[in-house]
Amino acid sequence: MNNPKELELRSIFSLFKEKAIDYIVLRGFSEIPDEVSYINDLDLLCSDKDKEKLSDLFKDLNYSFYEDSKNDNLYLYHALPHYHYRNKKKDIHIDIVFNLSYQSPNKGEWVSVHEEVQDSMVLNKISVERFWVFQPSYLDEFIHLVCHSIFDKKEFRDKDINRINEIYVHIDKKRTLYLFNLIFFKYSLKLLEQIDKREYKNIRSNYLKFKDY
């Protein structure tokens, strides 16, 4: 193995294991390691209790740190700012969240999703035979990608559509609808129907126009 970026990421995840840091790699698995960069960050969900461990670990690895500004962002319902660890020379950027929060269509406020959705992501994480080890179950990844597309990216990007289509066949639709209802309420069934038909282009605009609550 002579890929410096892969070696660095392997080292980071090995240190996570050594220091008993709880984490989940949220998405973008096909981009690891080669497409992870200073600009294209790697997204992790970590436990709030491990903040000090993370700070010490990345400081020892000579990564710079910044926290998303509370002056520029409004955080509601227990939403928390992202932590960013970056090393320009190694061309790596790790973006860490401590709960699942998404940007409201209202004024972009960060809003934490329902506790059951949070718990599902953590309790049902899976171990894979890749060097990052932990990622969400298909169902939790699916829910996350849909929320990330609608709320944060404000569109369904091709790479996210491809992954959603790939994992859609593996998810329990009844459980999906239950979790959707905790986020999208009465729009949930229509949302799932549009995904089933692969009608991604108008999902967000239909959601914003939906009034039948």
User: Which domains does the chain show, CATH number per domain?
Assistant: 1-115+127-136 (3.30.460), 138-213 (no CATH)
For the record, the structure tokens of 123 come out as 């309790």
Q: Which long-range contacts (CB under 8 A, 24 or more apart) does 83-88 make?
A: 83/51, 83/54, 84/41, 85/54, 85/58, 86/38, 87/38, 87/61, 87/62, 87/63, 88/38, 88/64
Give the model's pLDDT for residue 26.
Answer: 98
Give the model's pLDDT for residue 1.
Answer: 58
Helices (H), the chain: 4-18, 51-60, 115-123, 138-147, 158-168, 173-184, 188-196, 203-209
Q: What is the pLDDT of residues 109-149, one digit of tens each?
A: 999 999 999 999 999 999 999 999 999 999 999 999 999 99
Burial pattern 183-204, b for ≥16 Cβ within 10 A else e, equals: bbeebbeebbebbeeeebeebb
Nearest CA to 99 among 77, 114, 80?
80
Q: What is the pLDDT of residues 63-107, one digit of tens each?
A: 999 998 787 888 888 888 999 999 999 999 999 999 999 999 988
Nearby residues of 72 by Cβ (< 8 Å), 6 or more positions away: none
pLDDT > 70: percent of the chain: 99
- Categorize the per-residue pLDDT at 212 as very low, low, confident or very high, splitting at 50, 70 and 90: confident
In this prediction, residues 13-17 reach a mean pLDDT of 98
Q: What is the pLDDT of residues 106-120, one digit of tens each?
A: 888 999 999 999 999
Nearby residues of 82 by Cβ (< 8 Å), 6 or more positions away: 67, 68, 95, 96, 97
Distance CA 63, CA 53 (A): 14
What average pLDDT does the chain have? 95
**Single-letter residue type at 40:** N
Task: Provide φ and ψ at 121, rounded to 5°.
Answer: -60, -45
For the record, the structure tokens of 84 come out as 């960013």
Nearest CA to 193 among 209, 180, 212?
180
pTM (2 d.p.): 0.94
Neighbours of 142 (CB within 10 A): 22
CA distances from 197 to 38, 129, 190, 193, 203 (A): 36, 32, 11, 6, 11
pLDDT > 90: percent of the chain: 89
In this prediction, residues 9-24 reach a mean pLDDT of 97
In this prediction, residues 42-53 reach a mean pLDDT of 97
